[in-house]
Amino acid sequence: MVWLKFAACLAIILFSGTKLARYGDAIAEKTGLGRIWVGLVLLAAITSMPELVTAVSSVALVKLPDLAVGALLGSCLFNLTILALLDIMYRPAPILSQASSRHMLSAGVGILLAAVAAGGILGAGRFFGLTVGWVSVSGIVLLVLYIAGAWWIFRSERNIQAQLIQVISAKYEGLLVKTVYLRFALAAAAIIGAGIWLSFVGNEIAVTYGWHASFVGSLFLAITTSLPELTVCMAALRLGAIDMAVADILGANMLDIAYIFIVDVFYTKGPILSSVSGVHLTTAVIVIVMSLLVITGLRFRQRRKTFLFISWQAVALIGLYIFGMRYLFISGVA
């Protein structure tokens, strides 16, 4: 029965994710905000909602901080691996070479957030272990950095879009603005609802089969809650909206790490990053390394793929993901 629920969630996410990408692309065109900003904030906020619900329920209901942090950081790993999958799907050239170099800014903010999270795990009892009430300073810093980074990117994109708006061709002239917003809202509601349901179904599967908390968080729950990102990005790629797909991934990662602040608020036993296993430090470091690989791909734009159907950056991303999951599994607490 539990796997039937899982299949139903996937079906809803696949259908609504395709619609969400299309109407998100239409919003980017009609508002003039551009695909990067829509993907980075609007789509990312919707597709990352299951991770937030899973993480909050992990600490508020079952009191497992390792499961919460594992789900958030593990989702970051899987999200970056989605870029490798997109690279395989996109045949003409390496996917990152076709995306705007402006994504380096959001990737850099993601690295900074992951570094602060790593500092919170490593620095229990030091500065990052300090608290305001029961909420850690590191959690507050994560929230502030996310807001500042998102605002910085918004200002940069607004200036660029103002210059480009005259040369952008209209693809959605036949759709009324009200229709676009309504259909986008319906698709968003469907994908959020199915994604949240999927997070609970994933937890039910984990309990049913007796899988360990941290490894479940970093692998199984991280993958299931990242399925909205995967679906939306694949749909965006089919629309030719590469920048929106890449922005969704990087924006979701920024949000997943910033969500640690919200999870910290619900975890009243103390700073959550000081309460989890040190193995999550490795996950945070791998997120940083994978993000640096993304920046490398955006900066040094290869015209051809290194290995017939896949670029070397995609191979490295997949390799790092496998290494991280294997390390978590061998570590015991994972």
Residues 6 or more apart whose CB falls under 8 angstroms from that of 148 comprise none
How much is the pLDDT for 122?
A: 84
Residues 6 or more apart whose CB falls under 8 angstroms from that of 87 comprise 94, 95, 96, 305, 310, 311, 313, 314
User: Which of 15-24, 193-202, 231-240, 241-250 bottoms out in mean pLDDT, i.e. has the lowest?
Assistant: 193-202
For Cα atoms 37, 289, 44, give the angle at the middle one, nearest 5 degrees: 25
Determine the Cα–Cα distance for residues 321 and 227; give it in Å rounded to an integer. Answer: 16
- If pLDDT is split at 50, 70 and 90, which confidence band does 211 have? low
Using CA atoms, how far residue 326 sits from 209, 243, 281, 291, 322, in Å, is 19, 31, 15, 19, 6
Are 61 and 263 contacting, i.e. CB atoms less than 8 angstroms apart? no
pLDDT of 144-200, one tens digit each? 999 999 998 888 877 676 555 544 556 777 778 888 889 989 988 988 888 777 767
What kind of architecture, by CATH, is found in domain 2-330? Up-down Bundle (1.20)
Neighbours of 299 (CB within 10 A): 10
pLDDT of 59-109, one tens digit each? 887 677 887 888 899 889 999 999 999 999 998 899 999 999 999 999 999
Concatenated DSSP letters for 77-124?
Answer: HHHHHHHHHHHHH--SS-HHHHS-TTHHHHHHHHHHHHHHHHHHHHTT
Helix (H) or strand (E) holding 231: helix 227-238
DSSP, collapsed to helix, strand or coil, labels residue 37 as helix
- Domain boundaries along the sequence of the chain: 2-330
Whether the predicted pLDDT of 217 surpasses 50: no
